[in-house]
């Protein structure tokens, strides 16, 4: 169901004087709550290490509270605070992700000469040096490519001396005229996945996170908020109880239907 369809159905059931943005805000409230309490999904972001640099920017939209794990060279780092800043681990300082001890080397990186790299849909081929130090399963970051779409993260599925192989349709094909860098970021930040915020401009195309069988969760939440704004507190509490009941139903459904593993990970490339 689209957000605009939900807005229409709410107005039909409970006429009100709120503007569409208010209802969109209610939708975002519900979905943020779902991803905080029920839908346990995480996203991995890979950050290239720079020798003797201890501090790195948090991934876009991520705060220290969103981070579930930090891995350095594949080993999980313990979370610290400023009172433990000289203990091995990571912590927040000056709104930066800070590592201790400071990594002394930069990540493995291949840097081509001009015109030495050719992209195909599933491969990167070099006419220069070998791709030394890059292995199957590595997450690599390509940068410096002339085609902007090729500057991204991807997972390596095959390695030969001068050829790296990737999943289908990873790259835009063509010979690159410039110098291209292929690095293997050693710092992985695993953070809670957050739903895309619904925008008023997109209500006719944005669809609701919940399946249609649970759309009444949005309605009950909106009815409760509208009632509270009217100072109809008993009615608001009744609708909020309905909301909580259906939310509980969804949690049971989600637990029975989600992927059967401890956590679900999304990859940021």
What is the per-residue pLDDT across 167-211, written as a single tens digit (0 to 9) for each?
999 999 999 999 999 999 999 999 998 888 999 999 999 999 999
Instruction: Give the SS3 label for residue 257.
Output: helix
pLDDT at residue 150 is higher than 60:
yes
User: Strand order of the sheet with strand 163-165?
Assistant: 158-159, 163-165, 123-126, 117-119, 174-176
CA distance 236 to 244: 12
In the chain, the N- to C-terminal Cα span, in Å, equals 28
Give the pLDDT of residue 19: 97
Name the residue among 212, 264, 222, 229 with its Cα closest to residue 243.
Answer: 222
DSSP secondary structure letter of residue 2: B
Interval 155-164: pLDDT, tens: 999 999 999 9
Give the pLDDT of residue 234: 97
Interval 88-112: pLDDT, tens: 999 999 999 999 999 999 998 999 9
Give the pLDDT of residue 265: 44
Interval 201-237: pLDDT, tens: 999 999 999 999 999 999 999 999 999 999 999 999 9
> What is the overall mean pLDDT for the chain?
92
pLDDT at residue 262 is higher than 80:
no
Give the pLDDT of residue 188: 95
Q: Tell me the mean pLDDT in the region 64-86.
A: 93
Q: Tell me the mean pLDDT in the region 12-29.
A: 96
> Which domains are assigned to the chain?
3-39+196-258 (no CATH), 41-104 (no CATH), 109-188 (2.40.30.180)
């Amino acid at each position: 169901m689209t957000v605009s369809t939900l807005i229409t159905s709410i107005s039909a059931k409970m006429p009100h004087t709120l503007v569409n943005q208010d209802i969109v805000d209610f939708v975002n409230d519900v979905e943020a709550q779902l991803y905080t309490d029920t839908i346990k999904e995480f996203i991995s972001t890979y950050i290239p290490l720079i020798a003797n640099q201890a501090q790195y920017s948090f991934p876009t939209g991520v705060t220290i509270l969103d981070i579930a794990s930090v891995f350095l060279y594949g080993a999980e780092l313990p979370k610290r605070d400023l009172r433990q800043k000289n203990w091995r681990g990571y912590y927040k300082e000056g709104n930066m992700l800070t590592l201790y001890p400071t990594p002394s080397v930069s990540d493995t990186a291949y840097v081509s000469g001009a015109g030495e790299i050719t992209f195909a849909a599933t491969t990167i081929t070099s006419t220069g040096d070998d791709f030394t130090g890059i292995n199957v399963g590595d997450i690599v970051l390509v940068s410096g490519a002339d085609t902007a779409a090729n500057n991204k993260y991807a997972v390596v599925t095959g390695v030969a001396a001068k050829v790296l192989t990737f999943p289908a349709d990873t790259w835009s094909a063509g010979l690159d005229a410039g110098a291209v860098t292929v690095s293997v970021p050693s710092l992985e930040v695993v953070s809670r996945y957050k739903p895309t915020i619904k925008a008023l401009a997109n209500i006719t195309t944005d669809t609701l996170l919940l399946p249609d069988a649970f759309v009444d969760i949005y309605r009950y939440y909106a009815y409760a908020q509208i009632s509270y704004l009217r100072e109809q507190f008993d009615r608001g509490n009744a609708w909020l109880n309905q909301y909580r009941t259906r939310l509980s139903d969804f949690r049971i459904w989600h637990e029975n239907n989600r992927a059967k593993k401890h956590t679900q990970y999304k990859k940021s490339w």
